[in-house]
Amino acid sequence: MDNCIFCKIVEGKIPCAKIYEDELVLAFLDISPICKGHALVIPREHHQSISSVPENIAGRITHVAGRIGIAFKRALDADGFNFHLSDGACAGQVVWHAHMHVVPRGPEDGFRWNWRQLKYDSDAERNDFVEKIKSKLKT
């Protein structure tokens, strides 16, 4: 894909701090980490959305991200890690080549997700969400 920075990384046209690669995916350090070690796992194939990534490749992305999380614990003394994926501009996606963030975490790392907790107005409202989503969910 022309003008995709992550395709250029896959093709070796621009450099990256690579930590893993195989026939399906590539992993490298994020250039502006939330915490040092923060990595991105990307498919070699260009897909704008994770929803169009074939199941075997999506599975590999998740598997490799989990292995990187374990490496954070062993190599960086991390206590845990977060996965994060932005899909769509409103969700914060700025690079239009699907990618999974893996962020090493520790109790003193100074970062907190700004995670709000709404409530459904009623059981009926919650059930309405269940039915609407189920009716369009194709796997």
Confirm or reject binding of residue 41 to ligand AMP (CB under 6 A).
Answer: no
Q: How many residues bind ligand AMP (CB under 6 A)?
A: 11
CA angle 122, 128, 49 (to 5 degrees): 120
Q: Residue 105, SS3?
A: strand
If residue 15 lies in a helix (H) or strand (E), which one and from where to where? none
| Cβ distance to ligand AMP smaller for residue 2 or 121 | 2
> Smallest distance, Å, CB 130 to ligand AMP?
28
Within 13 Å, how many C-alpha atoms sit on residue 116's CB side?
2
Per CB under 6 A, does 90 bind ligand AMP?
Answer: no
Taking CB within 5 to 8 Å according to partner kind, which of ligand AMP, Zn ion, none is near residue 1? Answer: Zn ion
What is d(CA 10, CA 108) in angstroms, rounded to the nearest whole number? 34
What phi, psi does 65 have (nearest 5°)?
Answer: -60, -40
Q: Is 99 a catalytic residue?
A: yes
List the one residue from 11, 54, 95, 125 that touches ligand AMP (CB under 6 A): 95
- List, in order, residues 6 or more apart from 4 with CB less than 8 Å away: 46, 95, 96, 97
Question: Applying CB under 5 A, which residues contact Zn ion?
Answer: 1, 4, 6-7, 46, 97
- Considering the candidates 38, 47, 97, 99, report the single residue annotated as catalytic: 99
Residue selected from 19, 66, 93, 109 as contacting ligand AMP according to rule CB under 6 A = 93
Instruction: Provide the binding-site residues for ligand AMP, judged by CB under 6 A.
Output: 5, 16, 30-32, 40, 86, 92-95
- Catalytic positions, please? 99
